[in-house]
């Protein structure tokens, strides 16, 4: 187990946010944090990455170490090259820079590693965002809407990279509004709606127990109750 959430709440002035959350994230799993806009996914990620503190409740961490984070968007310094960005982040994270070229090859940026980020397309910047999240150990990787800006080929490669990370021993938590994508990739899922977790557990088990064929059907079933 990586972390337990016990009665986590984060309420904003408009009464939106996360109203109540109890869950566990198990080690060596790919976990989807799924739901529509305003469901509470980004709030929960900000809490897990300690960008914000919960209004009440607590996280109990069972594994120390580096948490790698891929935000939904990064404004990289435009004067730096892709190579320089990764080198700087490797230094800040105090990790070995020797795998830098391998990571750039993984995300298809090796051939342009000496180009300035200002020349990159949105998809290339998102792949650089993915690359920086791959720097580090085999702990927890948190990815906020990692498919943003990626074309179908790179969405497919993203899935492969996430599965490779799991196979190396990492735990991957990612948020998405695409339930079909979550179903294809995740071992476990937390489905949020209006700030509450409405379903949680192993994807296959949830579908069997709910007699649903797909997560989209399960989501509709839950929000209509």
Interior angle at CA 197, CA 191 and CA 198, nearest 5: 75
- Is residue 69's pLDDT more than 80? yes
Average pLDDT, the chain: 92
- In this prediction, residues 87-106 reach a mean pLDDT of 84
- Is residue 65's pLDDT more than 70? no
Q: Which pLDDT band holds residue 7 (cuts at 50, 70, 90)?
A: very high
Half-sphere exposure in the Cβ direction for 173 (13 Å, CA):
25
Architecture of domain 1-66+140-162+173-225: 3-Layer(aba) Sandwich (3.40)
Q: Which pLDDT band holds residue 225 (cuts at 50, 70, 90)?
A: low
Which letter does DSSP use for residue 118 in this model? G
For the chain, give every domain's residue range: 1-66+140-162+173-225, 76-136
Q: How far apart (Å, rounded) are the C-alpha atoms in residues 40 and 100?
A: 34
- Is residue 215's pLDDT more than 80? yes
- Is residue 95's pLDDT more than 90? no
Which letter does DSSP use for residue 116 in this model? B
The alpha helices in the chain, defined as continuous H runs, are 41-48, 82-92, 100-106, 122-133, 152-167, 179-185, 203-210, 215-223
Work out the burial of residue 103: count CB atoms within 10 Å of its CB; fewer than 13 is exposed, 13-18 middle, 19 or more buried. Answer: buried
pLDDT in tens, 119-177: 999 999 999 999 999 988 778 999 999 999 999 999 999 999 999 999 999 999 999 99
Pairing between strand 188-193 and 196-202? Answer: antiparallel
Q: How far apart (Å, rounded) are the C-alpha atoms in residues 120 and 154?
A: 15
**Among the listed residues 101, 70, 83, the one whose alpha carbon sits nearest the alpha carbon of residue 170:** 70
**Among the listed residues 164, 156, 55, the one whose alpha carbon sits nearest the alpha carbon of residue 102:** 164
- In this prediction, residues 28-35 reach a mean pLDDT of 96
Give me the residue label for tokens 């180009």: 115
Of the chain, the percentage scoring pLDDT greater than 90 comes to 77
- 38 in Cβ contact with 14 (< 8 Å): no
Which of 34-43, 46-55, 64-73, 116-125 shows the lowest mean pLDDT across its residues?
64-73
- In this prediction, residues 61-89 reach a mean pLDDT of 88
């Amino acid at each position: 187990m990586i972390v337990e959430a016990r009665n986590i709440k984060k309420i904003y002035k408009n009464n939106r946010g996360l109203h109540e959350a109890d869950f566990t994230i198990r080690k060596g799993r790919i976990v989807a944090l799924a739901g529509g806009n305003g469901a509470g996914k980004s709030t929960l990620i900000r809490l897990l990455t300690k960008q914000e503190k919960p209004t009440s409740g607590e996280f109990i961490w069972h594994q120390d170490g580096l948490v790698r984070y891929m935000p939904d968007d990064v404004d990289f310094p435009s004067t730096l090259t892709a190579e320089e960005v990764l080198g700087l982040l490797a230094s800040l994270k105090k990790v070995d820079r020797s795998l830098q070229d391998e990571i750039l090859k993984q995300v298809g940026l090796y051939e342009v590693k000496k180009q300035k980020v200002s020349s990159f397309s949105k998809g290339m910047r998102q792949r650089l965002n993915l690359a920086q999240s791959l720097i580090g150990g085999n702990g927890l990787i948190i990815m906020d809407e990692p498919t943003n800006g990626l074309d179908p080929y790179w969405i497919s490669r993203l899935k492969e990279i996430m599965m490779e990370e799991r196979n190396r021993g990492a735990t991957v938590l990612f948020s998405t509004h695409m339930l079909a994508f979550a179903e294809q990739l995740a071992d476990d899922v937390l489905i949020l709606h209006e700030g509450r977790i409405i379903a949680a557990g192993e994807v296959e088990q949830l579908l069997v127990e709910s007699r649903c064929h797909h997560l989209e059907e399960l989501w509709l079933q839950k929000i209509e109750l």
